[in-house]
Amino acid sequence: MKRDIDKQLLEWSRNNRRKPLIIRGARQVGKTYSLKHFGKTYFEEIIYLDFEKYPDYAAIFEGDLDINRICSEIEMLTGQRIIPHRTILLFDEVQNASRALMSLRYFYEDKPDLHVIAAGSLLEFVFSEISVPVGRVQFLYMYPMSFHEFLLARGLDELSEIIQGEPRKLSSVIHNKLITELRSFFFVGGMPECVKAFTESHSMVESWHVQSEIIKSYRLDFSKYVPRINIDCLTEVYKSLSQGIGRQTKYTRLSSNFTIPTIKKAVYMLEKARLVKNVFSVNPPRLPFEYSAKQTVFKPVFLDVGLLQYVSGVDPGEEILKENLLSIYNGAVAEQYVGQELLITQEDDLYYWSRQAKSSSAEVDFIARRNNEVLAIEVKSGVSGTLRSLHYLLNSDEHIDEGIVFSSREFDTLPDQKIRFVPIYYAGSPALFGRIIT
């Protein structure tokens, strides 16, 4: 499968100022596959250490962190020579070997010409317990497959290229084809194993079986947070968050069975595991957004649109029959999809707007940036007259540069109102947010 991270890894490997790289991301988003594929494609030799499958490998890093000794022992263990520029050293599931993470600073200082990548999940928990070698390592975050990556996996390269470009009006045939593929993505999601099952079998049911397996593995992971968190609370909050997509929420609404501090800790743990991202309200919406972010209310964005529906208990067989793409799960699926696509282009720096006034329900789904511009984003199926909150914000705040409405309708503009109607399949377009595709 072609992934966007492939280009980022290649750029990293060719950079003269390269540092050891840490790949972060939730479980089963494709980190291992991408690293092995990259190694096989661009290096003569791969030395791959999986610290989950072979926990004894961690013993190499006990004691001192002398890189010459460590490399010598790795060579003896694997029977492979470590040769700079020809060998790539891959540490996988490195959350199980915290000292291997700590050693990365010494690889940078003592063997800067050696290509080293560490990958793992739940790394945020490890970072809270060790000294992170800031300034001596680089980081990349890996997400589930975006819609354009899904199209690539389906062999629809031309369609993938279209939705990476500047939004424009397409022929009705192409528009309808993209809407059809997006409907499939809503139910399959972007977890690589789910996409693989769907692509090979042409059966959504097969992808749903894989979703079930992934969620079960995540719930088993919950036990790894003990004694950090109450498992029953974590499970309940996880489901409540999945049912609150698209709605502003407070901690008190996530459970009636636990205290607020316990609920907050559960939400914090789910965010650390990258299973949920809480998008906070900003008012006024000014750059940098974090200065005006209100942390007491938030809207959750799930890791993946396919997993969302499984966790929330939605009946996909019933929802898939709905003709209007944006009505699936009462519109929550469409907002989830847009949210997870925006998190990629915004590099997790995503917010929404709500009016801070009594008896006011004015709210705009997302606030994002395009270079130094502020964008107000709505996910709607209606015409411009129904966009009361968006019109209010555009008319009352001169700092909003443009309103973008993602919907299933074709491309259109209202330049006098600073609004563009953009087909929802463009939600992850780098060009829409001022980024050049290479």
Q: What is the pLDDT, as a whole number, of residue 384?
A: 47
Q: Is the peptide bond before 227 cis (omega within 30 degrees of 0)?
A: yes
Model pLDDT for residues 351-370, shown as the tens digit of each residue: 999 987 666 778 999 999 99
What fold is seen in the domain 4-141? Answer: Rossmann fold (3.40.50)
Calpha distance 343→366 (Å, rounded): 11
> C-alpha distances in angstroms, 119 versus 34, 89, 142, 145?
11, 11, 10, 17
Helix (H, G, I), strand (E, B) or coil at 390: helix
Domain coordinates in residue numbering, the chain: 4-141, 147-433
Q: What is the pLDDT, as a whole number, of residue 385?
A: 52
By C-alpha distance, which of 62, 34, 68, 36 is closest to 49? 36
Q: What is the pLDDT, as a whole number, of residue 224?
A: 79
Give the residue carrying structure tokens 């397409």: 170
Q: What is the pLDDT, as a whole number, of residue 438?
A: 58
Q: What is the pLDDT, as a whole number, of residue 436?
A: 67
Low-confidence ranges of the chain (pLDDT < 70): 357-359, 381-385, 436-438
Q: What is the pLDDT, as a whole number, of residue 359?
A: 66
Report which DSSP code applies to 249.
B
Q: What is the pLDDT, as a whole number, of residue 3?
A: 96
Calpha distance 218→198 (Å, rounded): 21
The pTM of this model reads 0.93
Model pLDDT for residues 202-244, shown as the tens digit of each residue: 999 999 999 999 999 998 888 877 777 889 999 999 999 998 8
